[in-house]
């Protein structure tokens, strides 16, 4: 039986496609956006998260842990993520929630059953299921299986993806997917590599091929001084314009700093970026509209 590694399931979601949806956030990402708002989904395997403000220094975790992870000095508890083997013994004894699981395994059939519990909501609202992450296409085999099952039941399926995957993975899933929510970050190849950890050639090529067969909504995270310039918007809009028949909408998502604190809880460090001004967002929207794209 195939399994997923899930970060969390959000019921009654209103922002990830049409109608009322159940959004499944999957673990694992092959990109490293410097401003990622879900850095806790980067790891593909289940792990442990630690929240310092919830720790009451009881020392129970250190008692059951056989690795040199926990160090107590005065009123401080230092948690060394690099030494943790993810055995999860400490989760059973931490009564405050300072230590929590980050990601859990779930079989395709268990997830399918859970998702179908909301099927009436999907029907009455014109909603469905959205897979997000992380990069959902990394859990390709499980995705193919569950999307096939949901498709057979007539459930609308959306996938939020960066499309930085071999075309074969995208094409196979496109048989079942009603809407691709494509996160597109930067048009310039070198800047893309610098801020995201990979260039965007594969993404652009996949977008062009996908636009021949699938429905697409583009999501553009806007980060001040990174991709908030008009040149990036002009180049992106010019590219999207030629895929226009399949681009349902372009959505501008201003940066927020939620990822900074979430990164700390899983042993990562994230710098804070500037939030774009309303004026900047209006100017960028105008660029996309001028190219005939529907901006939401």
Interface with ligand SF4 (CB under 6 A): 48, 55-61, 64-65, 67, 69, 77, 84-90, 93-94, 96, 98-99
Shortest distance (Å) from residue 60 CB to ligand SF4: 4
CB of 79 to ligand SF4, least distance (A): 7
d(CA 296, CA 289): 10
**Shortest Å distance, C-beta 59 to ligand SF4:** 5
Q: d(Cα 65, Cα 48) in Å, to the nearest integer?
A: 13
Nearer to ligand SF4, 90 or 240 (CB): 90
Please identify, using beta-carbon distances, which residue of 53 and 168 lies nearer to ligand SF4.
Answer: 53
User: Cβ 259 to ligand SF4, closest distance in Å?
Assistant: 22
**Joined tokens for residue 195:** 């801020």
Torsion of CA 178, 183, 187, 188, to 10 degrees: -140
Nearest-approach distance from CB 98 to ligand SF4, in angstroms = 4
* Spatial CA neighbour of 44 closest among 111, 160, 136, 108: 136
Kindly tell me the burial class for residue 186, based on how many C-beta atoms sit within 10 Å of its own C-beta (0-12, 13-18, 19 or more): buried
In b/e form, how buried is each residue of 34-51, taking b as 16+ CB within 10 angstroms? Answer: ebbbbbbbbbbebbbbbe
Nearer Cβ to ligand SF4 (31/90): 90
**Contact present, 215 and 246 (Cβ < 8 Å):** yes
Closest to ligand SF4 by CB, 98 or 169: 98
CB nearer to ligand SF4: give 69 or 165: 69
């Amino acid at each position: 039986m195939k399994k997923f590694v899930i970060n969390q399931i959000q019921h009654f979601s209103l922002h990830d496609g049409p109608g009322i949806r159940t959004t499944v956030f999957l673990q694992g990402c092959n990109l490293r956006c410097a401003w990622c708002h879900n850095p806790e989904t980067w790891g593909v395997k289940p792990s442990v998260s630690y929240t310092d403000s919830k720790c009451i220094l009881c020392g129970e975790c250190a008692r059951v842990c056989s690795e040199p992870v926990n160090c107590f000095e005065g009123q401080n508890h230092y948690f060394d993520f690099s030494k943790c083997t993810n055995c999860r013994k400490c989760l059973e004894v931490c009564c405050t929630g300072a230590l929590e699981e980050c990601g859990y395994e779930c079989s395709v059939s268990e997830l399918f059953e859970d998702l179908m519990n909301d099927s009436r909501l999907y029907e009455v609202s014109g909603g469905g299921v959205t897979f997000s992450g992380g990069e959902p296409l990394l859990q390709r085999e499980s995705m193919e299986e569950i999307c096939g099952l949901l498709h057979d039941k007539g459930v609308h399926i959306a996938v939020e993806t960066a499309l930085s995957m071999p075309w074969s993975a995208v094409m196979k899933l496109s048989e079942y997917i009603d809407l691709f929510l494509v996160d597109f970050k930067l048009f310039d190849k070198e800047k893309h590599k610098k801020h995201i950890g990979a260039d965007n050639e594969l993404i652009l090529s996949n977008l062009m091929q996908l636009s021949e067969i699938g429905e697409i909504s583009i999501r553009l995270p806007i980060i001040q001084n990174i991709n908030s310039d008009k040149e990036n918007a002009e180049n992106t809009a010019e590219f999207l314009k030629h895929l226009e028949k399949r681009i349902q909408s372009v959505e501008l998502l201003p940066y927020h700093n939620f990822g900074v604190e979430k990164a700390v809880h899983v042993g990562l460090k994230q710098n804070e970026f500037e939030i774009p001004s309303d004026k900047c967002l209006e100017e960028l929207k105008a660029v996309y509209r001028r190219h005939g794209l529907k901006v939401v």
